[in-house]
A and B are shown apart, each in its own frame.
Chain A
């Protein structure tokens, strides 16, 4: 049974890491190391206005005062921050204003990843912003979106075109003082996506950012900012892959979301960074700060994540429920195998009245991996009549892995209700035997059961992503009939 389990999870996470190739594009990189000069250089290279440089420098100076967080259930090898390249960009000959001018090598890379960037060929109706080595290389469907007043572009472009919006919202949800990695990102981030949905607009297509680390020894520090104005709606997806390399690479991203009155943002992630090999060599260190601010009345932010990649994951997509009657949701499937480590979960901070939140987390541990759920639910004194429901389940495949649950529940008013439930168990022998008895071998039975177990979360993904996620969880049949 152990062998089968390993095999299946290998299929899911390891052997099948088909994104491990390297693209040969000419890359502009700056020397290794981090200093005030490097921060200035990044800003200069990007031709940023003064306010951005200020922001970066403040962040950098603050970062110097911080230590890496140690509270997570992770053993993180020491990272030499002077050994990382903080800026790497595919070389551009001129400013790309249409895809024709983009490097064909780049287009091919994204095609290989299944991300078609050529608009005319896209049938799926997903607008994509492709980010390679922290620099946005192409954004599709821009004009279609522009008709509705939706802004969807690279972060660098937004800094130049929409400085007021950036000034207003940058760091408003995740201030650079937030934590070590947020400060680092704020100092050195090179690009990312920006999205603004105007009042009353329902974004007609899924927006998607595809992140790709390509260059060696580089850190990826991108930043996503989504602002959903009153009564608007957007569904946003994020995918990530990286080449298979022996050394560890650092990824420290920030995602900020602001939702105004009655606005709704759905943010989905399928995280499939290179997890390292069986012995734990290589792989991405994924240290990400994601937070949404439900600022307005009845605003809603929903996070869905399927985490299968990365050597180490440190990630807690959260919601600040400020607006009265606002809603926060977090749905997560986290698979760890071999030597992977994940410490992931969510924070729901209830500030407004009658706010609601839901956390559904499904952890699956295999190999020698360690998989932890860490979550906080806080009801402030003001957040009267608020509710939270949390369900965390952990499934253990094999006896060398670990599954851990660390919830923090703080309630400071009498009318709120918080319910937290968690279970940990191994895959059920009764279920396996039942499947076996119907002629299904153990390997497939595990795949079937694991898929069923994660269903509740997978169902929350947009269709385009669900397919990818299901494949990731080695789903063979589900939804193909009936």
Chain B
């Protein structure tokens, strides 16, 4: 059982998991571990885990990597998958550890710090300690507790006030091992007042071993700051990927997230946003195109803790074969969060009778001056639209493709990085044709252009 293994791993590795850290961090990690012991792995009796059963997954044995790989890894060799058109700063995470040819952590001219969280603990303790674990519910959510207890490394980004990073930062998370691995990457992103950051987060595995990733990112956005976050998940069917993003948004600041799930075994994404200051905004989007026995579970929790905030959720999915999709979006509006605008939409299309969808959009509202709504639909492609296309001479198959493509476009079109949008467009059309599952490589590897019929110059009606 994984749980036993975790107890053992923790106790045998206290030196690297606890002793290496400063007192406050050590205490937090210790508390987190106690909490995990108490809570255990999530099970299906928990409201938020009703449809994602980890039972079989946690019966397996996985190995932690308690130190960076000493293997001489040639990243260039391993990985040349930057989008040629996309100009980014690239950082690599290798089996959970930050990896770099030069510096483990660097301070740029504009005051931006990028690098290993492990190094940041030592070199920038005051910044890290102010934020690390502050946006995470170690007492309530066991996987966040587990990550906190085992957190050793990950990406650390600090953007000081009034800095707009022009290039996106691309984080590539590579899993490469010949045994079953469990990793607990921990990222911390701190964005100062009036600053902006775009993050592109890709998960990528090299070897087809069973793996379990339990990653946690904390994002703090100070007043009037903005973070545009993209997550691309295109992993092999053997992996289990659990990601949590905890975002704390101060007044007039904004967070935008985009989860694009094109492939994977079991994927569970938790996004928890706290709108903590007046006029804070959250715009959360997700697209999942899954087939075979894939399982994707998006959990979104938006906490309106202040007045005049705005949040919007748009999650769409196409579910094929025996795949299963879960959406649980919760909006909580505090008593004092007057003038809240909160919207939530979840739309699903099932392609087979073996596919299934579980959708739970929830509103929990304690303030009265609010405008909140949610909508959830599960259904087929619009028969009128189908007929319209076919009456123009497009065959049924192509009509279906076109409409599905249009369905997905609502999310893809919101991507603001042009090169990424174009790539995603291609990915989606390939995915819809069932070609992508053959390619188990990173999303960004694929260089084929979109098929012509998808590029035709008219907007299909949906």
A and B directly contacting (CB within 8 A): yes
A381 to B354, CA, bound (A): 7
A420 touches B353 (CB 8 A): no
Q: How many B residues, CB 8 Å from partner?
A: 35
Convert B366-383 into 0s and 1s, putting 1 for each residue whose CB lies closer than 8 angstroms to a CB of A. Answer: 111111111111111000
Among A405, A414, A426, find the residue whose CB has the most chain B CB atoms closer than 10 A: A414
A163, CB-defined interface residue at 8 Å:
no
A418 touches B379 (CB 8 A): yes
A403, CB-defined interface residue at 8 Å:
yes
Known: A422-B373, A424-B363. A399 touches B358 (CB 8 A): no
State the Cβ distance, A366 to closest chain B Cβ, in Å.
10
A407: chain B residues at CB < 8 Å are: 359-362, 376
Known: A399-B338, A415-B380, A416-B379. A422 touches B370 (CB 8 A): no
A402, CB-defined interface residue at 8 Å:
yes
A406 touches B360 (CB 8 A): yes
B379: chain A residues at CB < 8 Å are: 416-419
Q: Which residue of B lies closest to A398 (CB)?
A: B368
A413 to B353, CA, bound (A): 4
A379 to B359, CA, bound (A): 12
State the Cβ distance, B264 to closest chain A Cβ, in Å.
21
B365 touches A414 (CB 8 A): no
B202, CB-defined interface residue at 8 Å:
no
Q: Which of B292-300, B308-316, B344-352 is the contact stretch?
A: B344-352
A396 to B335, CA, bound (A): 12
B357, CB-defined interface residue at 8 Å:
yes
A396 touches B368 (CB 8 A): yes
Q: Which residue of B lies closest to A385 (CB)?
A: B380
Interface set, chain A 76-94, CB cutoff 8 A to B: none
The one of B47, B365, B367, B375 that contacts A394, using a Cβ cutoff of 8 Å: B365
Known: A399-B338, A426-B368. A404 touches B348 (CB 8 A): no
A384, CB-defined interface residue at 8 Å:
yes
Known: A399-B335, A416-B378, A417-B379. A422 touches B363 (CB 8 A): yes
Q: Which residue of A lies closest to B360 (CB)?
A: A408
B372: chain A residues at CB < 8 Å are: 423-425
A379 to B362, CA, bound (A): 20
The one of A398, A410, A417 that contacts B377, using a Cβ cutoff of 8 Å: A417
B118, CB-defined interface residue at 8 Å:
no
Q: Which residue of B lies closest to A390 (CB)?
A: B376
B364 touches A417 (CB 8 A): no
A398: chain B residues at CB < 8 Å are: 368
A414 touches B368 (CB 8 A): no
A424 to B362, CA, bound (A): 11
B352: chain A residues at CB < 8 Å are: 414
B371 touches A414 (CB 8 A): no
B365 touches A404 (CB 8 A): yes
A394 to B371, CA, bound (A): 10
The one of B351, B354, B375, B380 that contacts A419, using a Cβ cutoff of 8 Å: B375
A422 touches B338 (CB 8 A): no
A425: chain B residues at CB < 8 Å are: 370-372
A425 to B372, CA, bound (A): 7
B371: chain A residues at CB < 8 Å are: 423-425
The one of B335, B358, B373 that contacts A424, using a Cβ cutoff of 8 Å: B373
Convert A371-387 into 0s and 1s, putting 1 for each residue whose CB lies closer than 8 angstroms to a CB of B. Answer: 00000000101001000
A408: chain B residues at CB < 8 Å are: 358-360
Known: A409-B360, A413-B350. A422 touches B365 (CB 8 A): no
State the Cβ distance, B306 to closest chain A Cβ, in Å.
15
A402: chain B residues at CB < 8 Å are: 364-366
Known: A396-B370, A407-B361. A414 touches B353 (CB 8 A): yes
B353 touches A384 (CB 8 A): yes
B357: chain A residues at CB < 8 Å are: 409-411
A410 to B50, CA, bound (A): 12
A416 to B353, CA, bound (A): 10
Q: Which residue of B lies closest to A404 (CB)?
A: B364
B355, CB-defined interface residue at 8 Å:
yes
A233 to B364, CA, bound (A): 39
Interface set, chain B 41-94, CB cutoff 8 A to A: 47
B183, CB-defined interface residue at 8 Å:
no
State the Cβ distance, B396 to closest chain A Cβ, in Å.
15
A381 touches B353 (CB 8 A): yes
B173, CB-defined interface residue at 8 Å:
no
A412 to B356, CA, bound (A): 4
A413 to B338, CA, bound (A): 40
A408 to B369, CA, bound (A): 26
B350 touches A420 (CB 8 A): no
A422 to B359, CA, bound (A): 14
A258, CB-defined interface residue at 8 Å:
no
A424: chain B residues at CB < 8 Å are: 363, 365, 370-373
A424 to B379, CA, bound (A): 24
Known: A399-B335, A425-B370, A425-B371. A418 touches B365 (CB 8 A): no
State the Cβ distance, A88 to closest chain B Cβ, in Å.
38
A411: chain B residues at CB < 8 Å are: 348, 350, 356-359, 378
B365 touches A396 (CB 8 A): yes
A421, CB-defined interface residue at 8 Å:
yes
A422 to B345, CA, bound (A): 10
A405 touches B377 (CB 8 A): no
A166, CB-defined interface residue at 8 Å:
no
A418 to B47, CA, bound (A): 22
State the Cβ distance, B354 to closest chain A Cβ, in Å.
8
Q: Which residue of A lies closest to B376 (CB)?
A: A420
B355: chain A residues at CB < 8 Å are: 412, 414
Known: A415-B380, A419-B377, A422-B374. A406 touches B368 (CB 8 A): no
A399 touches B362 (CB 8 A): no
State the Cβ distance, B339 to closest chain A Cβ, in Å.
10
A71 to B45, CA, bound (A): 11
State the Cβ distance, B206 to closest chain A Cβ, in Å.
35
Q: Which residue of B lies closest to A389 (CB)?
A: B377
The one of A412, A414, A419, A426 that contacts B370, using a Cβ cutoff of 8 Å: A426
B376 touches A418 (CB 8 A): yes
State the Cβ distance, B171 to closest chain A Cβ, in Å.
34
A127, CB-defined interface residue at 8 Å:
no
The one of B47, B358, B362, B369 that contacts A410, using a Cβ cutoff of 8 Å: B358
Kindly list 18 other residue pairs between chains A and B, CB separation below 8 angstroms, not including A402-B365, A414-B355, A426-B370. A396-B367, A399-B335, A404-B365, A405-B362, A406-B362, A407-B360, A407-B361, A407-B376, A410-B359, A411-B356, A412-B353, A415-B353, A418-B376, A418-B379, A420-B374, A424-B372, A424-B373, A426-B368
Give the interface of B toward A (CB within 8 A).
47, 335, 338, 348, 350-380
Of the A-B pairs whose beta carbons lie under 8 Å apart in the complex, a sample of 9, sorted by A's number, is A396-B365, A399-B338, A405-B361, A405-B363, A408-B360, A409-B376, A410-B359, A417-B379, A424-B370
Q: 10 closest A-B pairs (Cβ-Cβ)?
A: A417-B379, A396-B368, A409-B359, A411-B378, A414-B350, A405-B363, A424-B372, A423-B373, A426-B368, A420-B376
